[in-house]
Amino acid sequence: MNFNSHSDMIVAHAVAVVNALTPGERRGRPYQIPADRRTAVAEAVPLRREITDAEAAELAGYALDLRAVFEAVAKGDLDHAAGTLNRLLTDTRARPHLSRHDGEPWHVHFHGADGTFGADYAASCATGLAIVLGSDLHDRLGVCTADRCDRVYVDVSRNGTRRFCSTACQNRVKTAAFRART
C-alpha cells in the first residue's frame, strides 16, 4: 500500500488487536478471548513493557469499537465506520505527538505522553484506520468471508481482492467448494 511504513504498521497492529481481543469465530472454531489477556496482547503486538491485566482489559474494550469499523467497511457502510472512528479518536484523545525514546530518532506517535496504555494504543490503531478510510484504499478493511470465521484483515494486495483472514480460511473454502462439486 501507499501509506508510510509507520501507518502500515499500526494498521497491522489494529488487525492483530481486534483478532486477539474480540470474541467470535476463528478459522471454523469458536474464539474466546484468552483468560490471560496480558499474554494475548503481548503475543498479538510488540510491547515496550509488560502491561497489567487492567491495561489489557481497557484495550479489549476499545477493540470492540475497532472491530465495528472493520464490520461497517465490510458492509459498505462507510458513514458508520467514519462516525465510529471519529468517536474513538475523540475518546482516546488521539493527536500527533513527536516522541524520542529507546535510542530511536524523533518519530510521530498518534497519542500524547500522558494517556493510559489502552487509550494510547487504541488512539494509534484508530488513527491508522482513519488514514485508510480517508484514502482511496478505503475498502481494504475486511472481515473474513469464510464459513464460521469473523476475524478481520487489511488487504495489502496489489489488486485488492482479498476475502479471507488467512490462508487457512482460504483453503477451507477451496476444500468445501471442491467437496461440493464432487
Q: Answer yes or no: are the C-beta atoms of 164 and 154 closer than 8 Å.
A: no
Q: Which is nearer to Zn ion, 15 or 41 (CB)?
A: 15
Decide if residue 15 touches Zn ion (CB under 5 A).
no
Torsion of CA 91, 92, 97, 100, to 10 degrees: 170
Q: Which is nearer to Zn ion, 133 or 149 (CB)?
A: 149
- The DSSP call for residue 3 is S
Decide if residue 146 touches Zn ion (CB under 5 A).
yes
Name which position in 149, 152, 153, 154 contacts Zn ion (CB under 5 A). Answer: 149
Distance of alpha carbon 161 from its chain centroid, rounded? 19
- What is the smallest separation between the CB atom of 154 and Zn ion, expressed in angstroms? 14
- What is the smallest separation between the CB atom of 24 and Zn ion, expressed in angstroms? 10
One-letter amino acid of 25: E
Distances, alpha carbon 127 to alpha carbons 53, 78, 113, 118, in Å: 24, 16, 16, 14
Neighbour-count burial for 8-45, b at 16+ CB within 10 Å, e otherwise: bebbbbbbbbbbbbbebebbeeebebeeebbebbeebb
- What is the smallest separation between the CB atom of 170 and Zn ion, expressed in angstroms? 8
Q: Which is nearer to Zn ion, 54 or 177 (CB)?
A: 177
Decide if residue 143 touches Zn ion (CB under 5 A).
no
By rule CB under 5 A, what count of residues binds Zn ion? Answer: 6
Decide if residue 18 touches Zn ion (CB under 5 A).
no
Name which position in 88, 144, 152, 154 contacts Zn ion (CB under 5 A). Answer: 144
Residues in touch with Zn ion (CB under 5 A): 144, 146, 149, 151, 165, 169
